[in-house]
Structure 1
């Protein structure tokens, strides 16, 4: 499995996208979601949504259609 970045989103949207992709059978992972929670800036740091390189076209189509 080779991960590739689908995009960078705010924390809440990233988790929604991961769930939507999972519902379509595409495994996705949100990276950096816990960054800088201690200092209160966690909403300012974009979360990377990562998918398998082979799933990228389908994942992009799902996100673009939403």
Structure 2
């Protein structure tokens, strides 16, 4: 398994996309969602949504349709 970046999104959208992808059978992970939470800037840092390289094209289609 080789993780690749699907895209960078705000924290809430990233978690919605992870749920949507997983509901379609594509494992996904949100990276960096807890970055800088201590200083209050967590809303400004985009969250990376990561998927397996083999699932990238299908994940792009699902996100594009959403």
TM value normalised by structure 2: 0.99
C-alpha separation in 2, matches of 1:3 and 1:48: 11
Aligned residue in 2 for 1:6:
6
RMSD value over aligned CA atoms? 0.2
TM value normalised by structure 1: 0.99
Displaced runs of 4 or more, over 2 A: none
Unpaired runs of at least 5, structure 2: none
Unpaired runs of at least 5, structure 1: none
| Offset from partner CA, 1:6-63 (integer Å, 9 cap, x none) | 0000000000000000000000000000000000000000000000000000000000
